Structure 1
């Protein structure tokens, strides 16, 4: 599923979560994911509100613990308990940016305004909603930067806040908004999800959602719009990147594949090869949407140290597919259905196997039987 975001008046973590819920994400699935963090003393709900002339969804987080400061390492550990890579990556990005701004290692960062329940719930909630909706690609229109000042633990800072600007490096931005239009939480989520900035991609529109912010604006509704669609059937031009590597370990190659997929690669794989003088080697291949090819090329160079690569154009035929969800032992398992069959998502089965101790192949059969 493709997600395209229109940050009409800006974007915050709670606005994104509300828009995804309004587009069809299951609130109970989001609550279960947050519960896996071990966080206590919270309640997450959603209500329909009117903002300007529009009806939209707004999330509400009620907490018994009003502490807003926590070590970043604690929040990162809690996020990774959920098995949601986007959540862990978003909080890691926040810690790295804050550490760079204040001159301390990321592992020693202590979050102030971003250390409360809201940050963790928004980030884990959005990651869970993306998984529930089966989102594999995130696109976003240019983000309004905002202007003015914001008061923080470190005093009055310019808007956009320094952490937000650092997290938005590489994003497409625009003027035309007042106040804090984009929050660090939203910026971190977009980075972790590998968002591509620009016009909406060609797709078949399936659902829309409107997430309301808390501010009331005098001349317009304060909303972020989520549009969900499936890739248009037919041929799609993509770029193949490839490079020969004879000095990179298998552990590093595994890490590189994960980085490439998280950064928006359509696929990434490694094949064995024999180079000159009989040297054993590997060939790293990356299938890249045209708009992500340059960014993915930089990931290859940075992670492998390669001095060059090959680029070629291919025609990819993408058949329509959609996700259904079944429940196994209290856990959601996504089922990818195409024209010629259905298959459970491997990562979801692994999560159920870790909880239950059951063999993976038995769970795959049970998931198919549950349809």
Structure 2
């Protein structure tokens, strides 16, 4: 069963919103409550608050820095004393020593590295010497590690996301007053579709952006039905509901005969038929397409054209798209997901007086079986006996009746 996460950050996204939504999706509240102890962070306290955001009642996970043991002189507490001045190595060490799964540790370290690399680019300082300010406190550490633990638990295979609301105006940081989105946030979000929204204020934080970047979502509508939906509220109040919506979507591809397929289409009006002939189609099938159809079409101004349509499974979709764009004159195409029902079938060998014939046996919904000879096998028998295809097929039909 494939598990997909659909992210809707229409009111922005922050680490606490992600943590709250993921926790609601997994119902893992006791696990998150025990996280400070698992990470050796006695100064972190987890509080659960029920918030009403424009009629959406959801649980917000608030992390409070109690200041416990800040003045202790042990090595571990010395790191706490530095609070908002931890280096990446301090945070990595804290994660490595935590009592969480190895995969959760990997995810958490990758998210922090995304932020560290961004800070390094912005400030022109090697990542090893960067002081984490906004994201090195107890709250940000628990937000990110908590999200890592829950992402690991969900076993997400892919994710989709809507464009991200980043807000506008300015925000006060350790470095002073900065524009929204903050430089680190803008850097992390490079390549992702964003919009400012109609209200001022910071709507996407570096932590939220880094979690999004780790998930590497496709920015398109999720083609799968949602099986579970959860909301993660932000503490700020805007006119629009300040919530992050996450949907867990599961594929029914495991059901026999049912799967999803990608339909890839383009119209071509400036290539000769020979260029789209057998060699091109064989190569397209070799690239992973499971079917290719060429349909005559008439484009604007009466130009004759060919409509090319290919079917491709999810794992090879991009490879098939790249092949079409590399090997045709098309400068753009469209693709969309479709449901497909495939009848149960198998290849069989039939002993005939002319020789062994390869065929495909298909089971119809009623249970009735139908058999169709494979073209290449039929052609080989015809050539072997110096017969036409039509004559070979007729002889086989007569002798099987």
Q: TM-score, normalised by structure 1?
A: 0.61
Q: 1:224 to 1:38 in 2, by over 3 A?
A: same
Per-residue deviation, 1:77 = 2.8
RMSD: 2.8
Give 1:327's aligned residue. none
Give 1:69's aligned residue. 85
Per-residue deviation, 1:129 = 1.4
Q: 1:167 to 1:288 in 2, by over 3 A?
A: farther
Give 1:227's aligned residue. 247
Per-residue deviation, 1:292 = 9.8
The answer to whether the 8 A contact 1:202-1:232 is kept is no
Structure 1 portions without partners, runs of 5+: 240-286, 296-314, 319-371
Matches within 5 A, 1:170-209: 170-177=191-198, 178-199=200-221, 201-209=222-230
Q: 1:57 to 1:110 in 2, by over 3 A?
A: same
Give 2:28's aligned residue. 26
More displaced stretch, 47-56 vs 78-87 = 78-87
Q: 1:18 to 1:289 in 2, by over 3 A?
A: farther
Pairs aligned (count) = 250
- Report which of the two has the higher share of strand: 1
Partner SS state of residue 171, structure 1: coil
**How far apart, in 2, do the equivalents of 1:34 and 1:213 lie?**
21
Per-residue deviation, 1:32 = 4.5
Q: 1:136 to 1:152 in 2, by over 3 A?
A: same
Matches within 5 A, 1:136-155: 136-155=157-176
**How far apart, in 2, do the equivalents of 1:293 and 1:138 lie?**
21
**How far apart, in 2, do the equivalents of 1:90 and 1:292 lie?**
28
Radius of gyration: which is bigger?
2
Q: 1:60 to 1:28 in 2, by over 3 A?
A: same
Matches within 5 A, 1:1-371: 1-65=3-67, 67-81=83-97, 82=100, 83=102, 84=104, 85-177=106-198, 178-199=200-221, 201-217=222-238, 219-233=239-253, 234-237=258-261, 288=315, 290=317
Q: 1:129 to 1:317 in 2, by over 3 A?
A: farther
Give 2:277's aligned residue. none
Per-residue deviation, 1:56 = 1.4
Partner SS state of residue 42, structure 2: coil
The answer to whether the 8 A contact 2:36-2:44 is kept is no
Per-residue deviation, 1:291 = 6.4
Per-residue deviation, 1:235 = 3.0
**How far apart, in 1, do the equivalents of 2:32 and 2:94 lie?**
15
The answer to whether the 8 A contact 2:168-2:180 is kept is yes
**How far apart, in 2, do the equivalents of 1:4 and 1:190 lie?**
11
Partner SS state of residue 84, structure 2: coil
Give 2:329's aligned residue. none
Per-residue deviation, 1:35 = 3.7
Q: TM-score, normalised by structure 2?
A: 0.57
